[in-house]
Structure 1
């Protein structure tokens, strides 16, 4: 029987415990012999990432017991944390352990405990490792080393290093061989050519982010495993001037083809395109003092030209893979515009054939096993699962992390992708999730409350996939609008560069334009709008509350609130100069930093808000929240602050997620006048 009840007052079987239990997704899929391996979240086990293997008979097991946590902290966002191969003793795996950031090696079939390969360091953030490549013929693993040289977060260097597999470097830093120099601030792990004679990697430097300008470096590998004749083959760092300067060329990924050519994804055309280049042609001369400008890599050939789609994305995690070559010469590619799909590209003819399946989003992680391609995908009605494409038959099937409807899917949202018109007639892409519950309907004439979700990044993207946190709200009669505001990825370089110098302006305007459009068309209640976001989305939420009276309340999670402090040693090295492009050079526009910061606009906030923060967050540290709360104190604005010990940037523990979700619902219930008794009342103080 369908019950008539006000929007926001509906009952739902989707509780916060269900949201927490299914938070996170599998990641970093790979192949070890004839087995498939990946990492998987464990919210109930302190939020650790487990390493899981799937045997050929389909059985699965966790490789390492708690508290082992397979996760790297390089660039703080991490990346590929493990690599494996098969030896006469069975699988051998090397991984980064989150607690101490040491590299460990283990042979799980022997039952032996993991052994450390790298030493500890008491300087700053110590030694960290990511994107490992096993070289058993040399008795080494090659990977990125991030080494802190002082206590400040920006006192750090990064190189490609070789670590002995025999454990001799576990107590001796001198046993680690450095393969590249630290001329460039950032590096990715090496990709080794099929004949083992060359290495290639990606580099970039402050103040650029990797989606603004990168270089591809290549080197010959000597018989002793050293790099020589290092040169730049592809890429362009541009002028890196946010106040109108030309941006460079972003190369998001590189891989070697079987014929010795180098495949890479570049946005030189305005879209991340897949290209091929002969490593013996073009590039800067070895030892040249200047990096190449526009024109480096002119010998490259686009493999799928004239498609205004993305074949890559922003390199937030070291080791992301949007494409991989297969042994028959074709290339598995993740591509699309807004949404993504998995396809097989013939690099000779340019023919692209997409796989079948219900998925609308493929994560940037691929593995190849013979004629099979393995990836991680999700859709509007399914969470992320590990799928296998057999390129011989064209059949796609789920082999692990299969989505299971723990609740009746009738309560899942029914989203729609839409394009709205913003200021100056610009397009704004968004996913709209109206309230939906088969057991309830609203009284005639009532409009629902809506919450605008601003994603993080801000160079990021909100995919339209099943998210039980969204379902938690929509099944209770609260609509969600996920806005891919200007600056988001998935729509070409021009769209993502709208935020250049305009952070806190374009993102705020785009979110507001979507909210107003929903009210103007009669989809949402103008008096019951809210905004929420985490990280950069937390910034947008806070900035929105200071810039407009459109929203009745807001939820701000682990945000940036003080631009000046964040740009002057109050965040990690990777993003320490990100604001140079998002806002402008601090030395040139200091007033802009102050004027846009919610900290210095706290007197404009009248709407109630909830502030959520992890106390171990080094990306957006809690000190920013503390200063913001001090600025709000005594102004009579109802608010609550929940800080969680043991949580960093983004919440991973089940109890934290439950508390945060229920507190957010309580905020909306109190602000919108909803009658709810199924969550603890959030105490709001003025």
Structure 2
């Protein structure tokens, strides 16, 4: 018989989920791929300085093995968000050959993990002293070369950069010689992905786009001939354009060309004629079979040898299915997983992916398409605390301004032995995701459970502009960033208060990156006036004009042209929406968190807001973390940031000393 929950103040429930536990389990597996019969992937190591480890799972049942010891960090900085950082091929003898990028110097390395004496990575590319140097991503081992994307800085400014597809020799001859790197194409576009050769080796395809578009606005599917010298000639676009986003393109084993494009208003899978560009929608649905290409090499579909295609698809979710292109039939994998990452690895009739669900962390799951059976093969979910402390989320659709639909996910406070005082409503925190062209997935998250197990509810808002609901929903944010996102977050908070779910006097908002912008904008916007009692603002954008001119990296340097409008035509929007210019409207306590090595949303943005509120009597705290970039990776940083956030809510919500159990937060005015 279970224990009857006893009334206790919200925010003061005793919880076994502390900040150290959350930090130790932060992050998820990423960049899964196959090397012959083996599965390889990267995984976070918060306790090891936040590095990404490279792991392999051999077919012998020995379990996952870390390939490289610290400090090897398998990650790259191409377009700052990075891309696939490794690739490998099996060999008849001596074990596999794998190439990878190392974060510290951004060089491309080769390693033979089964070589006598253990792995000894050898560099394949040089270091450049110019600007951000030489960076490599999305590698593909082809013969005696590695095809990949080169990001090459030509000066000190963030925009002094070029990107081109290249071939790096595997013999190491380019380790100290940039001239030994062979450029596969002319420099025709600002952004490219790695070319994928057709099965017959005669042609290759890749994606390309240019400023001011982001890849979810419009990309081109480019095709070229591979000549006898191994160069790509006659390159031309066969699909895509300024208003059509092609998110992925792959050749099927039979030589047909497949691509995910949103020409129908939804990212659907199409078969594209490589000669004419004529495209046939293989499964026309108002669902997404792709998403925003924030990292080079994301893979939402993978062709199988039998002609079927593994696809990640859904509307507000991302399920794994097997599509028969001949009939359009789509059969979903069984199991508790509702969210699959864009990283699929195919081996014969088996498809492996990274999957999670509302009650499971991300784990590596293998689907045998012949039997329909799915099983966890690595990174298996284990409850680190009694799952009775996990929240039970529910997806909601809430009516917002002008009757528009807003998608949200509500995580009510939950504790097996505690409940709120009779007649009292719980406090809630609205979480605004980053991007803003992105989506908050409905998965088990210990960071959310950290709050809900203490009696503080969380609601994630997939505001207008989010992915997962079609192009029309994404386009709601065009030129209305700081308006629609704020209105939607405020509308969700108001709805929870009006229906009696949340205490209207104890509502907060938090977010990081673009979510940090939304959180800060909500604290100064008339659309959310009086709605939030406090806010947590992490590595944010706060000054649109500065960010648009020279305070961010190249990839997003023109992003505001679609989110806000052209600076030269609507400078008043940049001025009037920026929180740094609205400090007189900022009246509630806030916590500002910033990585000092962040080049995407640099510290100068946070410092400008601090200067604007100085002397205004607004209680606030600023925590800056050396060694952290855009998003926190180190265990000690995650722990301190989370404890500071809880301390802010304890003060702003009047939760009392029982809610703390964390270092006090010094709020200064």
Shorter chain as denominator, the TM-score bin is over 0.9
In the TM superposition, 1:627-642 aligns within 5 A as 627-642=608-623
Q: By how many angstroms is 1:340 displaced?
A: 1.5
Q: Does 1:473 align with 2:454?
A: no
CA distance in 2, matches of 1:677, 1:260: 61
| RMSD of aligned alpha carbons | 0.7
In the TM superposition, 1:284-433 aligns within 5 A as 297=277, 299-305=278-284, 307-433=285-411
Q: Does 1:656 align with 2:629?
A: no
Name the SS of the counterpart of 1:516 in structure 2. helix
Q: Does 1:123 align with 2:123?
A: no
CA distance in 2, matches of 1:344, 1:236: 28
Q: By how many angstroms is 1:223 displaced?
A: 2.2
Indicate the residue corresponding to 1:54 in structure 2. 57
Q: Does 1:67 align with 2:58?
A: no
CA distance in 2, matches of 1:493, 1:214: 14
CA distance in 1, matches of 2:369, 2:337: 17
CA distance in 1, matches of 2:66, 2:195: 28
Q: By how many angstroms is 1:120 displaced?
A: 0.5
CA distance in 1, matches of 2:393, 2:415: 13
Q: Does 1:232 align with 2:232?
A: no
Q: Does 1:509 align with 2:487?
A: yes
Indicate the residue corresponding to 1:180 in structure 2. 185
Indicate the residue corresponding to 2:246 in structure 1. 251
In the TM superposition, 1:582-661 aligns within 5 A as 582-661=563-642
Indicate the residue corresponding to 1:462 in structure 2. 440
Q: Report if aligned partners of 2:53, 2:73 keep a CA contact under 8 Å in 1.
A: yes
CA distance in 1, matches of 2:257, 2:298: 17
Indicate the residue corresponding to 1:294 in structure 2. none
Deviation per CA, 1:597-654: give whole Å up to 9, x if none: 0010111100000000000000000011111100010000000000000100000000
Name the SS of the counterpart of 1:618 in structure 2. coil
Name the SS of the counterpart of 1:523 in structure 2. coil
Q: Does 1:684 align with 2:649?
A: no
Deviation per CA, 1:173-218: give whole Å up to 9, x if none: 0000000121110001111111111110000000000000010111
Indicate the residue corresponding to 1:288 in structure 2. none
Find runs of 4+ consecutive structure 1 residues off by over 3 angstroms: none
Indicate the residue corresponding to 1:274 in structure 2. 269
Q: Which residue of 75, 80, 83 maps to 1:76?
A: 80
Name the SS of the counterpart of 1:90 in structure 2. coil
Indicate the residue corresponding to 1:101 in structure 2. 106
Q: By how many angstroms is 1:86 displaced?
A: 1.4
Indicate the residue corresponding to 1:562 in structure 2. 543
Q: By how many angstroms is 1:300 displaced?
A: 0.6
Q: By how many angstroms is 1:439 displaced?
A: 1.1
CA distance in 2, matches of 1:14, 1:625: 30
CA distance in 2, matches of 1:379, 1:280: 41
CA distance in 1, matches of 2:281, 2:105: 43
Q: Which residue of 14, 17, 31 maps to 2:20?
A: 17
Q: By how many angstroms is 1:231 displaced?
A: 1.4
* Unpaired segments ≥5 residues, structure 2: none
Q: Which residue of 498, 511, 516 maps to 1:533?
A: 511
* Unpaired segments ≥5 residues, structure 1: 238-247, 282-296
Q: By how many angstroms is 1:232 displaced?
A: 1.0
CA distance in 1, matches of 2:639, 2:313: 35
Name the SS of the counterpart of 2:549 in structure 1. coil
Deviation per CA, 1:254-292: give whole Å up to 9, x if none: 0001222210000010000100012122xxxxxxxxxxx
Q: By how many angstroms is 1:3 displaced?
A: 2.6
Q: Report if aligned partners of 2:68, 2:119 keep a CA contact under 8 Å in 1.
A: no
Name which of structure 1's ranges 49-58 and 662-671 shifts more when overlaid on structure 2. Answer: 49-58
Q: By how many angstroms is 1:115 displaced?
A: 0.5
Q: Which residue of 163, 169, 173 maps to 1:164?
A: 169
Name the SS of the counterpart of 1:377 in structure 2. strand
Name the SS of the counterpart of 2:363 in structure 1. strand
CA distance in 1, matches of 2:119, 2:255: 39
Name which of structure 1's ranges 570-579 and 676-685 shifts more when overlaid on structure 2. Answer: 676-685
Deviation per CA, 1:457-502: give whole Å up to 9, x if none: 0000001100000000000000001000000000000001000000
Q: Report if aligned partners of 2:7, 2:422 keep a CA contact under 8 Å in 1.
A: no
CA distance in 1, matches of 2:536, 2:234: 53
CA distance in 2, matches of 1:477, 1:363: 30
CA distance in 1, matches of 2:474, 2:407: 12
In the TM superposition, 1:442-457 aligns within 5 A as 442-457=420-435
Name the SS of the counterpart of 2:342 in structure 1. strand
Deviation per CA, 1:1-32: give whole Å up to 9, x if none: 43311111111011101100110000010111
Aligned positions, number: 657
In the TM superposition, 1:569-588 aligns within 5 A as 569-588=550-569
Deviation per CA, 1:385-438: give whole Å up to 9, x if none: 000000000001110000000100000001000000000000000000010001
CA distance in 2, matches of 1:258, 1:452: 46
Indicate the residue corresponding to 2:48 in structure 1. 45
Name the SS of the counterpart of 1:364 in structure 2. coil
Name the SS of the counterpart of 2:568 in structure 1. coil
CA distance in 2, matches of 1:228, 1:499: 39
CA distance in 2, matches of 1:223, 1:399: 42
Indicate the residue corresponding to 1:141 in structure 2. 146
